[in-house]
A and B are shown apart, each in its own frame.
Chain A
């Protein structure tokens, strides 16, 4: 147990940047003021971990408390992990009346019913989001606190954001969540990103959207630059149109930060002369990945400047319009299909 405590603490301290250590520890509030003041943050982290462990021992703090520290840190810095979005389907009648305590209770009950060795910690954050930390065990082993799954759910919305989930535990979580939220099923929303709020905004369409219209909206951006009467843009109209189209496709204003857009093409060879390849069970796959610090901004910019041809192909515009960044393209239809 002591060893686990030590490794857990070590890992948390190591991931935390030094300048954040102090504030996070005071937020944790498990150490008294005197103890907090006795900590020397200038020493190497491995020494600091030793000192913290000693203090924990002194105050009788266990693994449970240390996971709390981790949770505080993760809630404050959610952007260091890769978040996957899931969507809850078919809301029950009372889905909208679920409130926090009820949800907490239900979720815990359902999950512990499904699996015995599990450690759950639920915390309500200020922005109406419920944060759940789950350490999974299996039939024989105790919960592994070193690889916890984090789940973020905004009550009364059909979306769930999960990080660090394995395919093994996925059905368990799905079932517990569905029961607790009174929905009937949960599916992968094919969206992932490092920035939690961006993923959320994209799904909930909380960014400025531009709708197609016949009349060019005065977007005002270009006109401002072109204040000098001696400078004239010959193709102003064209670029206005391109800007309009780009904004229609990807949205206006600042766009949510996504890091990747992945397109997977699955196709089968159709060639009567080559039987072996045609009858192959496995389709051929081709994966195209776009990467950027902000993929939507990049795509919009390339459409605006004419690097990408306009009108924008639905392949690209679906990212913001459908709120997803994993696409599977199969032989059956031309448009983006669902991913498995």
Chain B
């Protein structure tokens, strides 16, 4: 193998002694001596590699200056530029063959930093040496860790797959097992899954207990061959494989960064995102997406019987379509998040194993970073973490669905969240949670969120309501897209493989809306009907009131009294207007539901109670704004006659009509000025007569109160002389 060494460019340093002609004889001798040494040192890597390929077995290590010198020279090159494929071959062979005993072996493994690729032959040979079984166990572990680290840089993995069986045989080695499982996980193809291997793994599992690495490998086997693995596996295994950083990660990154300029000049990297050059990998609490590694690979090399194309080589959408069936996923699944094409691939192929692997990676990364952090979480909220979560969010938006591992992470995280750490990102992730069964909503969402909601500031309250609004909208959209048109059941081919009956879905929605209703009513009470909070709450009911017409779900949930009355008596006209708009939409939904019921004869599950509630609100609203009849017996708000008289408010029954309502009061005054500019004393009651009342309404409508306009036009028989409300009794 050493015969293929590349001779590095020779230096022309021997010409230096010509300049020292006027110096003394000893001096020039010394210079010559140094120059001689220099040329020897100039070319150390070739000499060193020659040495390592030729060195005899049994050469002593202790006090071997030559070995030390050569090791140092290879080490220097490795850390500065990385080693060429040939050098990797030579050094790996030297180390694994134990030609000079075990002591230099670990040291060599530690500086095996490839500059471009790792030749697969070298790895295969090293595995052969592993099979000889003379290596000490720590070195074996180190070697497998090294393979895992450089896995993406191995030029052809098919030859490694060819010795899958050999690698598999190491599973029984207790210390190696976790690493071997990880390696197998990366190598496994459908044809590798055999019954005897499954049996072996199950046997190991019964011996070692439910180790995550075994479970992951088994679950991958199950994805490929569900008939062989009958074991029921929970899809939410806590952690993925540990990211074995080993001693190489940092040095490798440094080399890649250094070589990046040079590499990028001759290799267009369309897949890489713009910021990639400056990215660092995850290390000690810093979170980042792994770079989608690009292995330099010429076309000639891909002369295998089965051709695969690493995802990293795909540079355009057209290429992606052409090679769709040949794509090979990278070892670090997290790198998919950073690449648009990779996401397209994920989306259209619906490859369950890819999702499985991505979920493992994500679950692990999130857990390590936020739930079980080693350093007290001091560095959190840093740019890298924010960027990571934002990338995750945009991925979820792109795929239009959440990841189950993110969901599982959130349920745990909400239980220990302080409500401020990474708030925008966490609330964003929260709104992407897929439909939760109604039986779990209370435990998974309501309990932690209630506590956070009521003990936090009004801004958190607004944020949470907005996030839950987003969640509801996504659930409804999801339903309207995937619901089968004829059947009642929802079933879909999504990788989350969610199956849920329509009634179950409806229950979940009702549960969510009720929960937000409770938060909103009590929140408004605690915050003194804060108008910002009210606005977010009304946003939510904008979504709720249109469930039937907009999303086709036969469900109407009424706005609770705790929101209705604060909105109706709000000081700002916008809230009242929006409430009117919401009431109008409720009316539209209810009437169309009724029409459809009559048309098809099918019974909807909208109860009489809902209609009754709506009518109750409607009557109150019309009485209050239009008829100037408030505080009637039977209303939700009842005050005794005596008390009202004692308050000495003149015409208290009219104090919340469109003229005297605090929100519209200033409009009434303005209207008064415009109508009777000459009048000094303002008498608002003069608007009350039927002619000016009509003008006043016209005036209000021109001020942009569209909701109010729609509400009045739909609910009140609009004849200027009659001020009578029209009920909608079913």
Partners in one complex: yes
* Cβ–Cβ < 8 Å partners of B34 in chain A: 51, 54
Q: In the complex, what distance in Å separates the CA atom of A54 from the CA atom of B41?
A: 16
* Cβ–Cβ < 8 Å partners of B76 in chain A: 44
* Cβ–Cβ < 8 Å partners of A50 in chain B: 37
- Whether the Cβ atoms of A47 and B30 lie closer than 8 Å is no
B:21-71 near A, CB below 8 Å = 30, 33-34, 37, 41, 69
Against A, the Cβ 8 Å flags (1 = close, 0 = not) of B298-326 are 00000000000000000000000000000
Say yes or no: is B72 at the interface (Cβ < 8 Å to chain A). Answer: yes
* Cβ–Cβ < 8 Å partners of A211 in chain B: none
Q: Which residue of A lies closest to B41 (CB)?
A: A47
- Whether the Cβ atoms of B30 and A46 lie closer than 8 Å is no
Q: In the complex, what distance in Å separates the CA atom of A50 from the CA atom of B30?
A: 13
Against B, the Cβ 8 Å flags (1 = close, 0 = not) of A18-59 are 000000000000000000000000001011001100100010
Most A-side CB within 10 Å, residue of B33, B69, B72: B72
- Whether the Cβ atoms of B33 and A46 lie closer than 8 Å is no
The majority secondary structure among interface residues of chain B is helix
Q: In the complex, what distance in Å separates the CA atom of A46 from the CA atom of B41?
A: 11
Q: In the complex, what distance in Å separates the CA atom of A46 from the CA atom of B37?
A: 12
Instruction: Indicate the size class of the contact surface on chain B.
Output: under 10
- Whether the Cβ atoms of B30 and A58 lie closer than 8 Å is yes
A:132-166 near B, CB below 8 Å = none
* Cβ–Cβ < 8 Å partners of A47 in chain B: 41
Most B-side CB within 10 Å, residue of A46, A50, A51, A58: A46
* Cβ–Cβ < 8 Å partners of B33 in chain A: 54
Q: In the complex, what distance in Å separates the CA atom of A50 from the CA atom of B33?
A: 12
- Whether the Cβ atoms of B72 and A44 lie closer than 8 Å is yes
The majority secondary structure among interface residues of chain A is helix
Task: Return A75 CB to nearest CB of chain B, in Å.
Answer: 30
Q: In the complex, what distance in Å separates the CA atom of A281 from the CA atom of B69?
A: 53
* Cβ–Cβ < 8 Å partners of B69 in chain A: 46
Task: Return B67 CB to nearest CB of chain A, in Å.
Answer: 13
B:56-101 near A, CB below 8 Å = 69, 72, 76
Q: Which residue of B lies closest to A55 (CB)?
A: B30
Task: Return B76 CB to nearest CB of chain A, in Å.
Answer: 6
Task: Return B60 CB to nearest CB of chain A, in Å.
Answer: 17
Q: In the complex, what distance in Å separates the CA atom of A50 from the CA atom of B34?
A: 9
Q: In the complex, what distance in Å separates the CA atom of A298 from the CA atom of B388?
A: 38
Q: In the complex, what distance in Å separates the CA atom of A50 from the CA atom of B37?
A: 9
Q: Which residue of A lies closest to B38 (CB)?
A: A47
* Cβ–Cβ < 8 Å partners of A51 in chain B: 34
- Whether the Cβ atoms of B72 and A54 lie closer than 8 Å is no
Task: Return A267 CB to nearest CB of chain B, in Å.
Answer: 39
Q: In the complex, what distance in Å separates the CA atom of A189 from the CA atom of B573?
A: 85
Q: In the complex, what distance in Å separates the CA atom of A144 from the CA atom of B645?
A: 111
* Cβ–Cβ < 8 Å partners of A58 in chain B: 30
Task: Return B715 CB to nearest CB of chain A, in Å.
Answer: 55
Q: In the complex, what distance in Å separates the CA atom of A58 from the CA atom of B27?
A: 10
* Cβ–Cβ < 8 Å partners of B72 in chain A: 44, 46
Task: Return B672 CB to nearest CB of chain A, in Å.
Answer: 50
Q: In the complex, what distance in Å separates the CA atom of A46 from the CA atom of B30?
A: 19
Q: In the complex, what distance in Å separates the CA atom of A280 from the CA atom of B69?
A: 54
A:52-69 near B, CB below 8 Å = 54, 58
* Cβ–Cβ < 8 Å partners of A44 in chain B: 72, 76
Task: Return A35 CB to nearest CB of chain B, in Å.
Answer: 11
Task: Return B26 CB to nearest CB of chain A, in Å.
Answer: 8
Task: Return B275 CB to nearest CB of chain A, in Å.
Answer: 32
Task: Return B47 CB to nearest CB of chain A, in Å.
Answer: 15
Q: Which residue of B lies closest to A47 (CB)?
A: B41
Q: Which residue of A lies closest to B72 (CB)?
A: A46
Task: Return A116 CB to nearest CB of chain B, in Å.
Answer: 28
Q: Which residue of B lies closest to A43 (CB)?
A: B41
Task: Return B367 CB to nearest CB of chain A, in Å.
Answer: 31
Q: In the complex, what distance in Å separates the CA atom of A44 from the CA atom of B38?
A: 13
Task: Return A162 CB to nearest CB of chain B, in Å.
Answer: 30
* Cβ–Cβ < 8 Å partners of A46 in chain B: 69, 72
Q: In the complex, what distance in Å separates the CA atom of A46 from the CA atom of B75?
A: 13
Q: In the complex, what distance in Å separates the CA atom of A58 from the CA atom of B37?
A: 16
Q: In the complex, what distance in Å separates the CA atom of A158 from the CA atom of B33?
A: 54
B:409-447 near A, CB below 8 Å = none
Q: In the complex, what distance in Å separates the CA atom of A116 from the CA atom of B252?
A: 55
Task: Return A212 CB to nearest CB of chain B, in Å.
Answer: 38
Task: Return B69 CB to nearest CB of chain A, in Å.
Answer: 7
Q: In the complex, what distance in Å separates the CA atom of A44 from the CA atom of B76?
A: 9
Q: In the complex, what distance in Å separates the CA atom of A46 from the CA atom of B72?
A: 9
A:286-324 near B, CB below 8 Å = none
Q: In the complex, what distance in Å separates the CA atom of A50 from the CA atom of B76?
A: 17
* Cβ–Cβ < 8 Å partners of B30 in chain A: 54, 58
Q: In the complex, what distance in Å separates the CA atom of A46 from the CA atom of B76?
A: 12
Q: Which residue of A lies closest to B27 (CB)?
A: A58
Q: Which residue of A lies closest to B68 (CB)?
A: A46
Q: In the complex, what distance in Å separates the CA atom of A58 from the CA atom of B29?
A: 12
Q: In the complex, what distance in Å separates the CA atom of A93 from the CA atom of B458?
A: 83
Against A, the Cβ 8 Å flags (1 = close, 0 = not) of B249-278 are 000000000000000000000000000000
Task: Return B111 CB to nearest CB of chain A, in Å.
Answer: 14
Q: In the complex, what distance in Å separates the CA atom of A54 from the CA atom of B29?
A: 12
* Cβ–Cβ < 8 Å partners of A54 in chain B: 30, 33-34
B:575-598 near A, CB below 8 Å = none
Q: In the complex, what distance in Å separates the CA atom of A20 from the CA atom of B521?
A: 70
* Cβ–Cβ < 8 Å partners of B37 in chain A: 50
A:255-290 near B, CB below 8 Å = none
Q: In the complex, what distance in Å separates the CA atom of A46 from the CA atom of B70?
A: 12
Task: Return A51 CB to nearest CB of chain B, in Å.
Answer: 8
Task: Return A14 CB to nearest CB of chain B, in Å.
Answer: 11
Q: In the complex, what distance in Å separates the CA atom of A50 from the CA atom of B38?
A: 11
Q: In the complex, what distance in Å separates the CA atom of A47 from the CA atom of B69?
A: 10
Q: In the complex, what distance in Å separates the CA atom of A49 from the CA atom of B300?
A: 47
* Cβ–Cβ < 8 Å partners of B41 in chain A: 47
Q: Which residue of A lies closest to B33 (CB)?
A: A54
Task: Return B62 CB to nearest CB of chain A, in Å.
Answer: 14
Q: In the complex, what distance in Å separates the CA atom of A71 from the CA atom of B30?
A: 29
Q: In the complex, what distance in Å separates the CA atom of A51 from the CA atom of B33?
A: 11
Q: In the complex, what distance in Å separates the CA atom of A246 from the CA atom of B217?
A: 56
Task: Return B25 CB to nearest CB of chain A, in Å.
Answer: 13
Q: Which residue of B lies closest to A44 (CB)?
A: B76
Q: In the complex, what distance in Å separates the CA atom of A54 from the CA atom of B33?
A: 10
Against A, the Cβ 8 Å flags (1 = close, 0 = not) of B330-341 are 000000000000
Task: Return A31 CB to nearest CB of chain B, in Å.
Answer: 14
Q: Which residue of B lies closest to A50 (CB)?
A: B37
Task: Return B68 CB to nearest CB of chain A, in Å.
Answer: 8
Q: In the complex, what distance in Å separates the CA atom of A44 from the CA atom of B41?
A: 11
Q: In the complex, what distance in Å separates the CA atom of A54 from the CA atom of B37?
A: 11
Task: Return A100 CB to nearest CB of chain B, in Å.
Answer: 41
Task: Return A19 CB to nearest CB of chain B, in Å.
Answer: 19
Task: Return B13 CB to nearest CB of chain A, in Å.
Answer: 13
Q: In the complex, what distance in Å separates the CA atom of A50 from the CA atom of B41?
A: 11
Q: In the complex, what distance in Å separates the CA atom of A141 from the CA atom of B489?
A: 94
Task: Return A169 CB to nearest CB of chain B, in Å.
Answer: 26
Task: Return A53 CB to nearest CB of chain B, in Å.
Answer: 11
Given contacts A44-B76, A46-B72, A54-B30, 8 further A-B contacts (CB under 8 A): A44-B72, A46-B69, A47-B41, A50-B37, A51-B34, A54-B33, A54-B34, A58-B30
The 3 closest A-B pairs by CB, nearest first: A46-B72, A44-B76, A47-B41
Please list 11 pairs of residues, one from A and one from B, whose beta carbons are closer than 8 Å in the complex, sorted by A's number.
A44-B72, A44-B76, A46-B69, A46-B72, A47-B41, A50-B37, A51-B34, A54-B30, A54-B33, A54-B34, A58-B30
Binding site for A on B (CB under 8 A): 30, 33-34, 37, 41, 69, 72, 76
